[in-house]
């Protein structure tokens, strides 16, 4: 049996999305920037997709700018905003210790090469950022607050609307990385006081290689990609027409079935969590619970075993999972997210992330619950760390 439980890393492009994309590879291939009538089909397709994405966020189509990825959208939001703000004497960025590396590495770059002051807010044991901590971190030099909508590793959903309201009151731009959240949660950028929001199509059954940045009207961060006049002169490069069309279609389909997907994923998520807690002793669920957690996210730590070893054992059984963020899966370092939650190194090293989606079935949940407890028990029998842990428990 093949079991794919890594939907947070990427999702398959849905047949409906692929069908919508196909004409723009070799039939309607005109460059949208050209003036002749043949290219108008390409321009019209892009604007339709822009409207589809905007509608899902309660935004205006003019506020949606297509990028090459969610990572590019994050880079644009941070670098563009800080570069402009520094001209006005503001050089302070507030973010969190559990952000995706697209944010953390960009913040490090801004600090190292541009002298930006960066505040990394801590989180509690479930991964929540305190609104009060955000408030206390704000200074007269603060140019931007960037807090992810939901964590990609442990699934904790942050108090984005409250942070957005605070930033609006303080007249400070607020950006949120919603690459994971946009695929599973209802987002209203107006009601939540969000100024900038990053997304990626391949997390929501769309194609890879296309993302978007929502920019509230009136905000004009410096351009990140320079060259042509595409995207209203804000993001240069000939548009990825097929990818953009796929993004729009994926977003519309996602919106139409959001509540249904959320209900089904939540039920299966909770059954997997309950089963693992019942069948594997000394297993720890990481992150929040219930409706404060992404409906498809399951993250566990198993003391006495290495997560990478468990991944190989699961792969041998046909199960695809993850130890954390797909973008750092080759690193041997413990997850920065789990360490920020207060886990010790040995617990952070023994973590697994299962993320469910449209490919997941009840039969697959049962299969994981049959296979994983045996794997963990076998690996623990060979682990000196497990033996030491049992001694501490007995004492």
Looking at the annotation, which residues are catalytic?
A: 327
> Residues near 324 by Cβ (< 8 Å), separated by ≥ 6?
153, 307, 335, 337, 338, 351, 353
Q: How far is 178 from 143, CA to CA, in rounded Å?
A: 20
Query: Across-strand partners of 298?
Result: 354
Query: Across-strand partners of 121?
Result: 96
Rg of the chain over CA atoms, in angstroms?
A: 22
User: Is residue 222 a contact partner of residue 79, using CB atoms and an 8 Å limit?
Assistant: yes
Q: How far is 283 from 333, CA to CA, in rounded Å?
A: 21
Judged by phi (left if over 0) then psi (alpha if -120 to 50, else beta), residue 232 lies in left
Whose structure tokens read 């360490």? 339
Query: Across-strand partners of 302?
Result: 283
Q: How far is 94 from 333, CA to CA, in rounded Å?
A: 25
Determine phi and psi for 211, rounding to 5 degrees. Answer: -140, -170
Whose structure tokens read 């990385």? 177
> Residues near 219 by Cβ (< 8 Å), separated by ≥ 6?
81, 173, 195, 196
Judged by phi (left if over 0) then psi (alpha if -120 to 50, else beta), residue 137 lies in alpha
């Amino acid at each position: 049996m093949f079991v794919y439980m890594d939907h947070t890393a990427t999702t398959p492009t849905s047949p409906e999305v692929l069908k919508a994309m196909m004409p723009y590879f070799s039939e309607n291939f005109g460059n949208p920037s050209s003036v002749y009538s043949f290219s108008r089909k390409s321009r019209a397709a892009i604007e339709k997709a822009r409207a589809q994405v905007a509608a899902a966020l309660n935004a205006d189509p003019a506020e949606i700018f297509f990028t090459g990825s969610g990572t590019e959208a994050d880079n644009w939001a941070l670098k563009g905003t800080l570069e402009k703000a520094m001209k006005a004497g503001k050089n302070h960025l507030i973010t969190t210790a559990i952000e995706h590396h697209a944010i953390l590495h960009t913040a490090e770059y801004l600090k190292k090469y541009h002298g930006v002051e960066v505040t990394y807010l801590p989180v509690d044991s479930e991964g929540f950022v305190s609104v009060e901590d955000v408030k206390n971190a704000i200074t007269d030099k603060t140019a931007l607050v960037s807090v992810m909508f939901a964590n990609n590793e442990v699934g904790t959903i942050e108090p984005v609307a409250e942070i957005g309201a605070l930033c609006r009151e303080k007249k400070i731009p607020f950006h949120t990385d919603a690459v994971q959240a946009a695929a599973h949660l209802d987002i209203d950028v107006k009601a939540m006081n969000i100024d900038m929001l990053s997304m990626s199509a391949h997390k929501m059954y769309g194609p890879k290689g296309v993302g978007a940045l929502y920019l509230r009207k009136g905000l004009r961060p410096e351009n990140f990609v320079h060259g042509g006049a595409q995207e209203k002169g804000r993001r240069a490069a000939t548009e990825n027409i097929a990818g953009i069309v796929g993004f729009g279609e994926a977003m519309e389909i996602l919106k139409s079935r959001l509540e249904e997907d959320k209900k089904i994923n939540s039920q299966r998520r909770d059954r997997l969590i309950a089963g693992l807690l019942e069948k594997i002793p000394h297993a720890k669920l990481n992150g929040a619970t219930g409706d404060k957690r992404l409906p498809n996210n399951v993250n566990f730590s198993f003391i006495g075993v290495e997560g990478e070893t468990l991944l190989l054992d699961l792969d041998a059984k046909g199960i695809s999972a993850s130890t954390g963020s797909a973008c750092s899966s080759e690193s041997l370092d413990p997850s920065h997210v789990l360490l920020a939650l207060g886990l010790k190194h040995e617990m952070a090293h023994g973590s697994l992330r299962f993320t469910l989606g449209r490919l997941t079935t009840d039969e697959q949940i049962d299969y994981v619950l049959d296979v994983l407890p045996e794997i963990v028990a076998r690996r623990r029998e060979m682990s000196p760390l497990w033996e030491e842990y049992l001694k501490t428990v007995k004492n």
